[in-house]
Structure 1
Amino acid sequence: MPSYTVTVATGSQWFAGTDDYIYLSLVGSAGCSEKHLLDKPFYNDFERGAVDSYDVTVDEELGDIQLVKIEKRKYWLHDDWYLKYITLKTPFGDYIEFPCYRWIAGEGEIVLRDGRAKLACDDQIHILKQHRRKELETRQKQYRWMEWNPGFPLSIDAKCHKDLPRDIQFDSEKGVDFVLNYSKAIENLFINCFMHMFQSSWNDFADFEKIFVKISNTISERVMSHWQEDLMFGYQFLNGCNPVLIQRCTQLPEKLPVTTEMVECSLERQLTLQQEVEQGNIFIVDYELLDGIDANKTDPNTLQFLAAPICLLYKNLANKIVPIAIQLNQVPGDENPIFLPSDAKYDWLLAKIWVRSSDFHIHQTITHLLRTHLVSEVFGIAMYRQLPAVHPIFKLLVAHVRFTIAINTKAREQLICEYGLFDKANATGGGGHVQMVQRAMQDLTYSSLCFPEAIKARGMDSAEDIPYYFYRDDGLLVWEAIKTFTAEVVGIYYKSDQVVAEDQELQDFVNDVYVYGMRGKKASASAQHAAVNFGQYDWCSWIPNAPPTMRAPPPTAKGMVTIEQIVATLPDRGRSCWHLGAVWALSQFQENELFLGMYPEEHFVERPIKEAMAQFRKNLDAIVRVIAERNKNKKLPYYYLSPDRIPNSVAI
C-alpha cells in the first residue's frame, strides 16, 4: 500500500501549539484518502515551534496530489492552532510543499494547495477551480468593508480587535494596546510626576527639559538645543518627520503679499524676490488644509486653537533651506501680518512655533494616518477579498500587510475614536482630525502615492539643485530596489499586458482599491510609513518644536509677543506629558519586527522567486551601506529609510 511522509510545522508565536486532535486527508487526481489521525503515542504533538513527521499509508493509488485537508477537533477545550506548512514526500519520491501560515480556530478545517503560484487561467482541473472560488467566497464573508466615517477610505467591518478574523489579529493583543503603551511610556520617561498638575502651564522653555530626564537620544537632544534656529527649522521640511509638504515655489501666491523689501535681508544673491523664484531658490509650504478646521473642544476648561500658515523658504548660498516669511492664516490683512526674520525675536519665534504645530497636525492625520495606515489597510482588505492564497500577487503582498488591519482597528478602538487618546492632547482631536481626512481625500490620487511622481510633482526631484534632501535620496534608492524586485516577480507570471487584463482576480483587486480606497475618484507602501513614523520621538518629543495644541490664538499684530506669552500658548503640563508618551510609543519597533526583504513565511516555493528575494536582500544591504557611509560623523544622521529600519508592513 502506498505510504506518504507528512511533515507538519507549528508556528513559534505565543499559543501557536494545540492539544486538539489533528486529522489529515489527501486529495489526488485518482481519489481521496480517508481521514488519518496524526498522532504519535506517548508524544506531545503540535507543540509551539515543533516540526512533526508522520507516515500516512493509503489503501489505493491517489494519483497526483492536488489538495491536503486538515481538520482540527476538540480534545478538551477550544484550542487554536497556527499551522505554518505541510510537506509531503510521495511514494514516488516527489517532494511537495503546502504553505499555510494561518490559524485554525475551534473545530475548524483548512484545505491547502501546493505552494506553486498560479493564476486563475492556469487552473484547468475542476477541483482546483472550485477550491479557488470557495476560498474567496469564505474570505469575502470574513473581510467586509465598513465606512468608519463619511468620506474616509473604507476599513474592515470590526468594532474591536477581537472581532477581526483570527489570521490578521496580533499574536499578543497586549503589545499594541495604546492605553497600556501610553501608560508605559509615561512611566518609562519619568513624566508621571507632572500629571497631578495636568492643566498648569510651564514656567519657561527650560521647564520643558524636566520631562526630558530620561532621554539618551542624540537627535532629540540636538533639537532641544537648536530648535529656535532658522537652519534647524528649515532642515525639518527636508528630513524631519513630515518631509512631504515642501515644494518649489514657481509663482508667489496672491494670498501671501510678500515683497522684496520685506525679505531682502534674507536674500543672499542680490536678486529680487521674483528673480529668486525664477532661479528656483524659493520654496513654499502651505497649510491651507487646516483653514476652517474645528479646534478641539472636548475639554471645556481649556481653549485650543489652530492656524493655517503659509511659510516661504529660501535656499541660501550654502544650499541650506531657511524660512524668510510666515503668514499665520490664509487671508491677508492688517490682522494677519507677515512675520519676518528681521522682526522682534519672539514675534518670529512664535510664528515658527505656529508653523511647527500646524506641521505636526498635518503629519499625524494626513501624512501618517491617512496616507500610510488607512491606505495600506485598503490594499490589505482588497487582497484578502479578491486574491486567493495561490495567486502570485497575494503571495507577494501578504507579508507587507501583516498586522496593518489589526493596528488600524486598535487605533479606531482606542486612539482616534470619540473621546479616545487622540483627544487628550491634540488641537485637532474632538472631530477636527475627521474633517481633515475628509478634506485630504480630495487630493488622494494613486500617483501621489508613487514616490518618484510625488517628489517630482513638488519640484523637489533635482539632487543637484536641492542637496541634503536625504528623504528623497534614500527613498528613491529603496523605491528602485522594490520596483526591480517586484517587476522580476510579476514578470515570471505575467508574460504580457493581455495576461494582466484577462486576470479577473487581479482586476477585482484593483477595482476594490479604486472604489473603496480612492472612493471611485477618476483622478486617482510600507517604506513611506517608516519615513514618517519612526522619527516622531526624535523630532516631536521636544514640545516647543512640535506643539500638539496651542492655548491662545495666533498673534494679530507685531511687537506684542513676550516669552511669557509663548509659554502660556504652548501645551500645558498634562497635554505635554500625553504627547510625549504618544510619540515615544509610536516610535518603537514591534518585538520580533520583520524588516524589508525578510520573508520568513515562505509563501513562494519556486526557485526563481527565492533567487529574486535573495538578490533583493543584497540590493537592500547595499543601500544600508550607502546610507551608513553618508551618515558617518553627521550631527544629524538620517536613517529612517535605511532598509534595516523599514518594517515590512504598517504595524505600529
Structure 2
Amino acid sequence: MFQVPGVSGILNPGGHGHNKIKGTVVLMRKNVLDFNSVSDLTKGNVGGVIGTGLGVVGSTVDTLTAFLGRSVSLQLISATQSDENGKGKVGKDTFIEGIITSLPTLGAGESAFYVRFEWDGSMGIPAAFHIKNYMQVEFYLKSLTLEDVPNQGTIRFVCNSWIYNANIYKKSVRTFFANHSYVPSETPAALVHYREEELKNLRGDGTGERVEHDRIYDYDVYNDLGNPDLNEDFARPILGGSATHPYPRRGRTGRYPTRKDSKCEKPGEIYVPRDENFGHLKSSDFLANGIKSISQFVLPAFESVFDLNLTPTEFDSFQDVRDLCEGGIKLPTNVISTISPLPVVKELFRTDGEQVLKFPTPHVIQVSKSAWMTDEEFGREMIAGVNPNVIRGLQEFPPKSNLDPATYGDQNSKITADVLDLDGSTVDEALANKRLFVLDYHDIFMPYIRRINQTYAKTYATRTILFLKEDGTLKPVAIELSLPHPGGDHSGAISQVILPAKEGVESTIWLLAKAYVVVNDSCYHQLMSHWLNTHAVMEPYVIATHRQLSALHPIYKLLTPHYRDTMNINALARQTLINADGIIEKSFLPSKYSVEMSSAVYKNWVFTDQALPADLIKRGVAVEDPSAPHGLRLLIEDYPYAVDGLEIWALIKSWVQEYVSLYYAKEDDVKSDPELQHWWKEVVEKGHGDLKDKPWWPKLQTPEELVEVCTIIIWTGSALHAAVNFGQYPYAGFVLNRPTSSRRLLPEQGTPEYEEMVKSHQKAYLRTITSKFQTLIDLSVIEMLSRHASDEIYLGQRDNPYWTSDSKALEAFQKFGNKLKEIEEKLGRKNTDEKLRNRVGPVQLPYTLLHPTSDEGLTFRGIPNSISI
C-alpha cells in the first residue's frame, strides 16, 4: 500500500467501487492580465473570462460557464497504479461544470469552477492530472483542489500556468503534479515517466524561433542589444561566448539575424517562456508597459520640447532642480496631449490641467534641502546608500592599480601621505588601525575614459580616500581625478589630487570632484551592482532550474519563488533600457560602452563571493571573529547595509539549512541526486559558461555546499537586489545628489568656465553634471524601478500557502517568517539609536532598505522574494 506524503490515510489500491471526486478549478481570464484591462478590473467585471474582442464570451456568469462547459478537459493520474507501460493510470475525461461565486479565497479577477472526476479504488491515489484546452484562446490556471478523496482528504495542485489550445503543441496535454515533494529516487514509479517528460518538454531541442505560447527554456548570448542594420553607431559587441566579452547567458529566442551581421539577432519583441510573463495583477505589467511608454512616447515628446526650445535646456539653480517636485515643469499643450492619455503619465507624472510635469519629492531632500552636499553624507552613502557594497578597506598606501603596465603604463595613485588630514594620525597608524578606506573606480573606468571623452561626456577615473573617525562616520580626505596620458595609454595616467575645502573657489572644485566620484559610482551601481550582479547573473539560475529540476523537486520549490518575473523584466531591459540608444545609453556616462563595461567587470565575478560574509571579508571591511555576531567583526561598526544584511543573510541561511536537511540527511544524498547534479552542471557550464573553468565553483557534493549555493541564489534575488534597487529614486531622484553623467572637466584658470565657477558654484555644478533632458529621462524611469507593486510578494511569504504538502517544510517556513518580523523590529530600533550616526545621516533618512516588508509605492524599504522590477 502507498501513502502520498503530506496527506493522511491510505487508499487501498485493490479496492473497487465507483466514486466521484469533487474538485475546484481556479483560473484567471486572459484579459485580466492585459495592460488595457486594468480599469475593467477595478470595476469588478467578471465577464470575458477568456480574452477580449472575440465576441464569444458574454458579460454574465451563465454565458461564461456555458462557454467553458466542454472546452477544458481534465484527467486525473494515479501515483500508485500503473498501466502496462509503467505509467500512472489515467482516469476518464471530465469537464468544468459550473462557476462558484462565493469562494472566499478567490483573488481579484479569479474565477472558480466545479469539476467532478470518476475515480474508484482500483485507480489508486491521484497525484497528477492532464488538462486540455480546446478553445482558441488561452487562460491562466491557478490551481486544482480535490476534496474528500477517499482516505486522503484534500489534495492540492498549485499550477500558476498559461494553458493554450492543445493542438498547437506536439504533445496536446499539459501535466501538473500535486504539491508533494520528491527527490528523484523517491518518486513514485507511476509518476517517473510524467516527471521526466515534463522536463523534456521544457528543454526543447535548441532550434527554431520561439513564439508566445512556447514553454521552452534555453540559453543564448547577449547578441540582441545592437542593430547594425540601422548604421554602425547602433552596432554593439556580442556579450558572452568569448574571453574578450564574457557574460552570463540570457534566455534563447531564436529570432532571425540582422542583415549586416549574421551573429546578431534582430531587435524587437522578445520571447520569454510563457509562464515567465507577468501573470498577476499588480501588475509589473503596468510598470513594464510604463517603461515601454516612456521609451516609445514620452522621450520623443521630451526631445521635441528641447529641440524646439520650448523650455530652458539647462537648470540655472539648485532650486530649478527642486522645482521638479515642488512646482513642476510647465510643458506645451501639444506635448501634454501626446503623452497624457498614457496611464503611466497619469499615475507617475501627475499631469493636470496646467500642463505641469511634477515628480514626487525624493526622500533625500524631504527633511533638509542641502544636507546632501556635506562630506559626512557623501561618505555615509557609500555604506548606507543605493550602492553600499563597493567601498573597501585600504590595504596599502598609496593605492595601486591592477591594470597591465605593459598596456597602460603607470596607473598607481599619485596621492601622497603629507596631504591627508587624518585627525592627528599618520597614514601608517591609520592603516595599522584599519581606519583607511577607498572607493576606487580607477581601473574600471580608465580603459574607457579616452573613448567616453570623445562623446558628449567628459569625465575622470576616480579614487576616493576616506578616514574612519572616532564617531564612526567616514570623512573623505582626498579625491584623485585621472585622465589617460595624451601621449597614449602606455604612458600612464595624468592625475590631480583634490582636497576638501569649505570656502572660495576651492570649495566649488571639491564639490565638483565629489560629483565626478558620484558619476562613477552611479554608473557602476546601475550597470554592475544592479544590472550585472543581480538581474543578469540570476537569469541562468532561472533557466537551469526549469530545464533540470522537476516541479516535484524540493529544491525547485525552494528556489522558484525567487525567480518570479526576473526573465520578463530582463527581456524588457534588453528592449528599452540597456539596448543601443536605449534609456541607459541616453542618460548614463558610458553611453554606448555601458553594457560592454559590465562585461569587463564580469571577468572578475566570483560566485562564492556573492555570499555577503565572503563579500565583506574580500573587500576588507570585515574580519572573521568567532566571538562576534555571525562570526564577523565589521571594521566600520556602524555600516547599515552590512549590519542589516548580515541579519537577513543569516536568517535565509538558517531557513535553507533546515529545509535542505528534510530531504538530504546523508552526506551522499546530494551527490546521488541526478536532477540536482544536472542542474548545477548546467548553471556552471552553460549559464555561466564563460567562467566554467574557474576553480571557485562549489562542487555540489554535500548538503553544506547545497545550502551555500541556494542561500547565495536566494540572497541575490531578494535582499541584494532590494538593497541596490529600491533606494534609486529616494537618493537619485534628486539628481544633484547622484548625477549620472558629467559633461565637462574641471575648468582651467583663465577660461570663461573658471570665471563662471568663481561667480556661481551652482551654475558651474549644473553645467557639469547630468543635463536637464537626461534628468527627466532618469527620473521618469527610476521612479518606476523604485516602486513596489500592489501584489508584491516579500521574503518570508508565498503566493500560495499550499506550496508544499510537507508539514515540516511549512513549519520551518513559518518560523522563517516569524523571525523576519522580529528582525524587522530589531532593525527599526537601531535607527533610533543616536550613537549610530550612519543610520540616518545629515539628510535624516533612516536606513530601511533591508526591512523585509513594505506597502505599495515608493517606500524605501521592503525585500521582495525576487527581481520583479
**TM-score, L = length of structure 1:** 0.91
The worse-fitting range, judged by mean Cα deviation, of 17-26 and 228-237 is 17-26
Q: CA deviation at 1:596?
A: 0.7
Alignment RMSD: 3.2
Match of 1:176 in 2: 288
Deviation at residue 101 of structure 1 after TM alignment: 2.0
Select the residue among 141, 145, 166 that pairs with 2:274.
166
Residue equivalent to 1:26: 76
Shift of 1:611: 0.6
The answer as to 2:432 corresponding to 1:368 is no
- Judging changes above 3 Å, is the alpha-carbon distance between structure 1 residues 506 and 239 closer, same or farther for their aligned structure 2 residues? same
Aligned counterparts, 1:240-251, within 5 A: 240-251=385-396
More off after superposition, 476-485 vs 148-157: 148-157
Map residues 618-637 of structure 1 onto 2, 5 A cutoff: 618-632=818-832, 634=840, 635-637=844-846
Instruction: Please name the residue that 2:332 is paired with.
Output: none
Q: How has the CA–CA distance of structure 1 residues 514 and 464 changed in structure 2, closer, same or farther, with 3 Å as cutoff?
A: closer
What's the CA shift for 1:295? 7.9
* Displacement after TM superposition at 1:207 (Å): 2.5
Q: What residue number does 2:499 align with?
A: 340
Give a deviation string over 1:377-404, Cα, whole Å, max 9, x none: 1211111111110000111111110000
Once the two structures are superposed, the pairs formed by residues 115-514 of structure 1 within 5 Å of their partners are 115-123=179-187, 125=189, 127-141=190-204, 142-148=216-222, 149-150=238-239, 151-158=246-253, 163-171=271-279, 173-180=285-292, 182=294, 197=309, 200-213=313-326, 214-222=359-367, 224-252=369-397, 253-254=399-400, 255-263=412-420, 266-268=421-423, 270-287=424-441, 288-293=443-448, 303-329=456-482, 335-342=494-501, 344-430=506-592, 432-461=593-622, 465-514=635-684
Q: For the Cα contact (< 8 Å) 1:170–1:403, is it kept in 2?
A: yes
Inter-partner Cα distance in structure 1 for 2:826 and 2:547: 39
Superposed displacement of residue 505, structure 1: 1.0
- Residue of structure 1 equivalent to 2:55: none
User: Which residue of 2 is the match for residue 527 of structure 1?
Assistant: 719
**Following the alignment from structure 1 to structure 2, what is the Cα–Cα distance between the partners of residues 177 and 6?**
40
Does 2:849 correspond to 1:640? yes
Q: What's the counterpart of residue 649 of structure 1?
A: 866
- The question of whether the paired residues in 1 share the 8 Å contact of 2:446 and 2:484 is answered with no
Letter in 1 for 2:165: G
536-545 or 398-407, which moves further after superposition? 536-545
CA distance in 2, matches of 1:356, 1:41: 58
Counterpart for residue 745 of structure 2: 553
* Per-residue CA distance 1:558-583 (angstroms, 9 max, x = gap): 99554343322122211111112222
Shift of 1:376: 1.5
Distance 1:222-1:186 versus aligned 2 partners, 3 A rule = farther
Please give the secondary structure, in 2, of the residue aligned with 1:251. Answer: coil
Q: Distance in 1 between matches of 2:639 and 2:99?
A: 64
Deviation at 1:217, TM superposition (A): 4.2
1:84 is aligned to 2:238: no
Letter in 1 for 2:601: A
Consecutive unaligned residues of structure 2, counting only runs of 5 or more, are 1-16, 34-48, 51-66, 83-88, 167-171, 205-215, 223-237, 240-245, 254-266, 327-358, 401-411, 486-491, 623-631, 698-715, 834-839, 854-861
Supply the AA of the counterpart residue of 1:651: S
The answer to whether structure 1 residue 10 and structure 2 residue 60 are counterparts is: no
- Give the 3-state SS of the residue equivalent to 1:329 in structure 2: strand
3-state secondary structure, aligned to 1:500: coil
**1:219 and 1:538 in contact (8 A); partners too:** yes
Gap change, CA 1:429 and 1:280, over 3 Å in 2:
same
Taking only the aligned residue pairs, the percentage that are identical comes to 24
Residue 448 of structure 1: SS of its match in structure 2?
Answer: helix
Change (3 A) 1:517 1:393: same
Query: Alpha carbons of 1:207 and 1:59: their partners in 2 closer, same or farther (altered >3 Å)?
Result: closer
Q: Deviations over 1:347-369 (max 9, x none)?
A: 11111110011000000000000
Label 1:267 to 1:50 Cα distance change in 2 as closer, same or farther (>3 A): same
* Aligned residue number for residue 71 of structure 1: 132
1:259-306 Cα distance to aligned partner (Å, 9 max, x none): 33211xx211x22112211111100111021122268889x9x71134
Deviation at 1:544, TM superposition (A): 2.1
Q: Which shows bigger deviation, 196-205 or 30-39?
A: 196-205
Residues in 2 aligned to 1:317 and 1:102: alpha-carbon distance in whole angstroms:
56
Q: Do 1:309 and 1:330's aligned partners in 2 also have CA atoms closer than 8 Å?
A: no
1:155 and 1:231 map into 2 onto residues whose CA distance is 40
SS across alignment from 1:646: coil
Query: Which deviations, in whole Å up to 9, do the C-alpha atoms of 1:206-237 show, x marking residues without a partner?
Result: 33222232544443435741122110100011
Tell me if structure 2 keeps the 8 A contact 1:238–1:469.
Answer: yes
Give the distance between the partners of 2:160 and 2:198, measured in 1 at CA. 15
1:557 is displaced (CA, Å) by 8.2
CA deviations over 1:134-158 (Å, ceiling 9, x no partner):
1111111211111013222100113
Aligned partner of 2:613: which letter? P
Q: CA separation of 1:571/1:599 partners in 2, compared to 1, >3 Å: closer, same or farther? A: same
1:267 maps to amino acid? L
Provide the rounded CA distance (Å) in 1 between the counterparts of 2:646 and 2:364.
24
Offset of 1:330 from its aligned partner?
A: 6.9
Cα distance in structure 2, aligned partners of 1:453 and 1:400: 21
In the alignment, residue 337 of structure 1 is paired with which amino acid?
Answer: Q
Show CA shifts across 1:380-431 (max 9, x none).
111111111000011111111000000000110111111212222112222x
Q: Structure 1 unaligned segments of length 5 or more: list them.
A: none
The superposition leaves residues 606-651 of structure 1 with CA deviations (integer Å, 9 ceiling, x where unpaired) of: 1111111110110100011011222238522000001111011001
Give the stretch that moved more between structures: 270-279 or 210-219: 210-219
TM-score when scaled to structure 2? 0.69
The answer to whether the Cα contact below 8 Å between 2:565 and 2:867 also exists between their aligned partners in 1 is yes
Equivalent AA in structure 1 for residue 418 of structure 2: E
Check conservation: 1:284, 1:312, Cα contact below 8 A: yes
CA distance in 2, matches of 1:570, 1:42: 59
Amino acid at match of 2:645: G
Q: Which residue identity is paired with 2:466?
A: L
Change (3 A) 1:544 1:41: closer
Cα shift at 1:38: 2.7
Which of the pair has the greater relative contact order for Cα pairs under 8 Å at 6+ separation?
1
- CA contact under 8 A between 2:449 and 2:483: conserved in structure 1? no
Contact 1:195-1:573 at 8 Å conserved across structures? no
TM-aligned CA distance change 1:99 to 1:451, over 3 Å: same
Provide the C-alpha distance between the structure 1 equivalents of 2:445 and 2:287, rounded to a whole number of angstroms: 33
Corresponding position of 2:345: none
The residue type paired with residue 621 of structure 2 is M
Which residue does the alignment assign to 1:587?
786
Residues 87 and 96, structure 1, Cα contact 8 Å, conserved in 2 = yes
Change (3 A) 1:44 1:623: closer
Local SS of the residue matching 1:67: strand
Residue of structure 2 equivalent to 1:597: 796
